Amino acid sequence: MENRNTYIIIAVVLVAAVFGYFVFFGGSPTPSPSPSPSPTPDTVRQGKWEDWSETLYIGITSYDFHPGGFDIGSAASSTIYRHLAAPRLLWIDRTVTGQYNNYIAESWSEKTDEDGDVYIEFKIKPGLKFRDGTPINAENMKWNWERALYDLPTRTQNGESYAVYAMEQSWAGSPKGLVVDDDLTLRMYTNPNWPSFDPFWKHFLFGLDYSFMYSMTLGEQYGMETSSLADYTKIGETGGYGPFYLESWVPNERFTLVRNENYPVNPLGGDAGPTYSEHIKKIVVLSYQDPASLRMALESHEIDMTWAGQLSRADVPSLLETAGVVMEIIPFMGSGNQLHMNFDPAYAPLNDVKVRQAIQYAVDPQEIVDKLMFNTATVSDSPVRPSLDFYKPIMAPIRALPMDQRIAKAKELLTEAGLPNGFTTQFWYISGVGDEAFQRDLGTILQAQLAKVGITLELKFTERGLFLDMVRAGQLPMFTRGWTFDYPDPDTELFYLMYSESPDLAMRIKFSDPHVDDLLIEGRQIYGKGQEERREEIYTELQDYIVENGFDVPLYLDGFWYGYGDYVVNYKPWLTTDKPNQGLWNIEKLIPDDWATYDPPN
């Protein structure tokens, strides 16, 4: 009994102590929490739509993704990747042609050293770092450029030769090349043949797909010839500096970029270059096998937008009428396409000026535009674009003639060349690519047009690699090629076509004229020196030469076209370069008003 009373006393004391504890601290024992209520269907759906609005899905048909794509690769996937995840010194403005805004560079200026050699001095902004912590400085930029010229082109794997011409002509033509003055100062010596012709180096280094920077620390560790793709993925994850970075990728299927939360807002705005992405947190780039499946994905909103030129031209008219889809057509900014003829005597009689002039009369680009372009291109009357200074529509007088008169003139020229019954030659095009059917149809139209004047055109095709090898070796009698818009000067078209040492065309068709070379060099040398009247004389004479000597046949001036969902806003293409689909950091996706009635499409 004594023990039992003791236990009761102890129990009472303990209960009192516990009660006093909670009274002292102002409360009573907390009851066990009730289970949280399950989210309502509307709450779940709202979350799905919010995730959807923060993820941008892009569809492309030219995937070919490499995680080292800051300087490896040339497909659409590489263009997207570089422009979102890697910096460069200057960035081309979206709306002002020829304007390059400071980006990594704080300033640039043209200077002359004690030997009289011209160089560009780049001052780099202090305090910038790649995502891995490596400083963004002059030595890193020099390493990126020299790697693109001296290292990558020599590799058997993980290599790239895409940037060689740009580097050779921008700075490697000078024996002094690139010089690091201090941590934030880089000298780039310009081409001594035209040292002050800045449109070239500006555009080739900062307007196309070259000159993107990434961490030299990671590049030397994971970016070698024998490095694995897993190694290169590490570079994509932490080696860049941009509004996005690589999160993951699946070969031949997709890659995903995520927003860099530490990226700053561009003080010049999102049209001047990369800036913090306010609305989009993730970008998923998806690969499609053909334009037909790409169109289906766009119409179903499986993707939010396509890349420029990846939808079939033939689909453009109907897509313009498709509910929920917006089609953008950017005129004049695509390639200027021309029919080229080989001047090599081995492909006679194409080396005869009268024969080439006859072909200029016989070919009718209007039929090509009407039958094949679906409002995505216009007839070209000169290699120089109508928007450029000194444009002269040299082909317009010929094309203003009735077709029967043009055919009669072509036959007359062939007779004067000793070919009253015509001749046989070949037209080559690429097989096994997305536009093979277009190239075949183009060849068929040319074949029919030239047949009217007695010229038999045999259509030949081969796969892309062999075709390009044959072009470089000068082994094609006739072929077409598109010339992109590079910089706002007539030199951008004519130099690469007609300069005898140009590997882009003149060397490939065995064309060489010392007087033409002299004019082209003079046009570059007097650029920016107040001699516009003389420059106009030069480029007028060069355009006249094309007709007077039957140099080639300007065909059509392409546009860019792409589609996006009507809920995609705040996006406008770049109008100053042939890389129009920049500025993805500006995009916002609007959630529909009736979101509560259905789930998002992806």
The pLDDT of residue 28 = 47
Residues 508 and 427 in one domain: yes
Segment among 14-18, 31-35, 61-65, 167-171 with least mean pLDDT? 14-18
Q: Give 402: exposed, middle or buried? Use CB within 10 Å, 0-12, 13-18, 19+.
A: exposed
> Does residue 517 belong to any structural domain of this protein?
yes
Residues 387 and 496 in one domain: yes
Tokens of 187: 């000298």
Percent of the chain beyond pLDDT 90? 81
Could you read off the pLDDT of 463-492 as tens digits, one per residue? 988 998 999 999 999 999 988 888 889 999
Partnered with residue 568 across adjacent β-strands are 589
> Does residue 449 belong to any structural domain of this protein?
yes
Sheet holding 118-124, edge to edge: 105-112, 118-124, 185-189, 178-182
Question: Which is more confident, 196 or 6?
Answer: 196
Partnered with residue 424 across adjacent β-strands are 456
Determine the residue type at 403: M
C-alpha neighbours within 13 Å on the C-beta side of residue 230 = 0
Of 558, 576, 593, at which residue does a domain stop?
558
Q: Give 243: exposed, middle or buried? Use CB within 10 Å, 0-12, 13-18, 19+.
A: buried
Residues 327 and 341 in one domain: no
Residues 452 and 518 in one domain: yes
Q: In this structure, is the dihedral angle defined by the CA atoms of residues 278, 279, 285 and 288, taken in order, positive or negative?
A: negative
**CATH number for the domain including 323?**
3.40.190.10
Give, in degrees to the nearest 5, the angle at Cα 330 between 246 and 483. Answer: 85
What would the mean pLDDT of 31-44 be, rounded to a whole number? 72
Residues 344 and 428 in one domain: yes
Residues 493 and 389 in one domain: yes
> Does residue 88 belong to any structural domain of this protein?
no
What would the mean pLDDT of 361-373 be, rounded to a whole number? 97
Tokens of 240: 């860049």
3-state secondary structure (DSSP) of residue 239: coil
Sheet holding 282-287, edge to edge: 244-250, 254-259, 282-287, 55-60, 305-306, 560-565, 325-330
Residues 576 and 448 in one domain: no
Tokens of 551: 């140099």
The pLDDT of residue 13 = 40
Residues 357 and 436 in one domain: yes
Q: Which residue has the tokens 């090599």?
A: 344
Report whether 424 contacts 458 (CB < 8 A).
yes
> Does residue 258 belong to any structural domain of this protein?
yes
**CATH number for the domain including 419?**
3.10.105.10
> Does residue 1 belong to any structural domain of this protein?
no
Could you read off the pLDDT of 179-190 as tens digits, one per residue? 999 999 999 999
Could you read off the pLDDT of 376-417 as tens digits, one per residue? 999 999 999 998 999 999 999 999 999 999 999 999 999 999
Could you read off the pLDDT of 555-564 as tens digits, one per residue? 999 999 999 9
Q: Find the domain containing 485 and state its range.
A: 336-558
Segment among 63-77, 93-107, 116-130, 444-458 with least mean pLDDT? 63-77
3-state secondary structure (DSSP) of residue 178: strand
> Does residue 194 belong to any structural domain of this protein?
no
Residues 421 and 534 in one domain: yes
- Any residues with CB less than 8 A from the CB of 126 and at least 6 apart, and which? 106, 184
> Does residue 113 belong to any structural domain of this protein?
no
Residues 430 and 544 in one domain: yes
For the chain, how many structural domains are there in total? 2
Residues 370 and 476 in one domain: yes
Q: Strand (E) positions, 37-153?
A: 55-60, 90-92, 100-102, 105-112, 118-124
Residues 271 and 410 in one domain: no
> Does residue 96 belong to any structural domain of this protein?
no
Q: Which residue has the tokens 């995609």?
A: 568
C-alpha neighbours within 13 Å on the C-beta side of residue 315 = 22
**C-alpha to C-alpha distances, 118 to 110, 176, 189, nearest whole angstrom:** 7, 10, 6
Mean pLDDT of the chain: 92
* pTM (two decimals): 0.88
C-alpha neighbours within 13 Å on the C-beta side of residue 476 = 26
